Structure 1
Amino acid sequence: MMSGLEAALAEASSPSWTQRVRAGRDLASFAHVPEAAEVLVRLLLDVEDTAVTRQTTEALARMGTVAAVRLIALAVAEADGNQADWLQTGVHDALVGPDGVQDVAVACGKLAQDQEEAVRRGAAEISAWTDDTRC
């Protein structure tokens, strides 16, 4: 019997966008696990369906941990313009409404000191998005 992590990792490679979305949501709580982190970045930059990008981003932003936001920042640094729009939409989705997650801004502040320049650059972009959401 597969663990939740193993099942979600397997589902992340599915040709079905709905299964990849589910994998992104399920893997968000494992953002700190290296093998999950690698797969999550791939899902964040899914080239086949923007729903995978948007909903994986939202799941990670709702986690609000430094590990989760770091993955979004890495994706932002690599994203093309269309992907960046969907990453921003996913962050926005997590931040609006009564259950909005403000931990994203705190995580971005911590990531401003990350050793990787791409993470710092992506975190700065996400931080600007959180400022826009609060206005």
Structure 2
Amino acid sequence: MTSGLEAALAEASSPSWPRRARAGRDLASFADVPEAAEVLVRLLLDAGDTAVTRQTAEALARAGSVAAVRLIALAVAEADGSQADWLQTGVQDALMGPDGVPDVVAAACRKLARDHEEAVRRGAAEISAWTGDTTC
């Protein structure tokens, strides 16, 4: 493992919400690494602070890979109403502005609509609704 990945994995367990949020942002580029993926889902569903949920969702949506959006979809399928609201806010934060990534997220959701896990398909459909993409 690289030292950046190891450091971010360690920060993800911090009692400090800013450190957990930073870990979520730092781990987003490692969404396809199993150890990071597990931790990222935990951060997306962070029970301690909604900022962790929001910032991790935004970072993963900005990463835009199918692996990154798949983690958001898994979290959406497990989230309670409040968590889902903050996941949606994080995704929408990534979609807005001059450097937004709506096409990338929509393309990932279309691929995830055929995922082998029903929870991922359900979560991807929800994310697609947030992006305004009705093709999933």
Q: TM-score, normalised by structure 2?
A: 0.95
Residue identity matched to 1:80 = D
**Aligned residue number for residue 90 of structure 1:** 90
Instruction: Provide the secondary structure at the position in 2 that maps to 1:4.
Output: helix
Unaligned runs of 5+ in 2: none
Measured in 1, the distance between the counterparts of 2:63 and 2:129 equals: 19
**Aligned residue number for residue 129 of structure 2:** 128
Measured in 2, the distance between the counterparts of 1:4 and 1:118 equals: 30
Measured in 2, the distance between the counterparts of 1:127 and 1:63 equals: 16
Residue identity matched to 1:79 = A
**Aligned residue number for residue 113 of structure 1:** 114
Measured in 2, the distance between the counterparts of 1:58 and 1:73 equals: 13
Residue identity matched to 2:74 = L
Residue identity matched to 1:64 = G
Q: Residues 44-123 of structure 1 correspond to what in structure 2 (within 5 A)?
A: 44-102=44-102, 103-123=104-124
**Aligned residue number for residue 21 of structure 2:** 21
Measured in 1, the distance between the counterparts of 2:14 and 2:83 equals: 20
Measured in 1, the distance between the counterparts of 2:94 and 2:38 equals: 22
Q: TM-score, normalised by structure 1?
A: 0.96
Measured in 1, the distance between the counterparts of 2:30 and 2:4 equals: 10
Q: CA RMSD in A?
A: 0.9
Measured in 1, the distance between the counterparts of 2:4 and 2:79 equals: 28
Question: 1:109-134 CA deviation, whole Å, 9 max, x = no partner?
Answer: 000000000000000000000008xx
Give 1:60 shift.
Answer: 0.1
Question: 1:69-120 CA deviation, whole Å, 9 max, x = no partner?
Answer: 0000000000000000000000000000101102000000000000000000
Count of matched residue pairs:
131
Q: Percent identity?
A: 85
Question: 1:14-70 CA deviation, whole Å, 9 max, x = no partner?
Answer: 000000000000000000000000000000000010000000000000001000000
Deviating 4+ runs (over 6 angstroms): none
Instruction: Provide the secondary structure at the position in 1 that maps to 2:42.
Output: helix
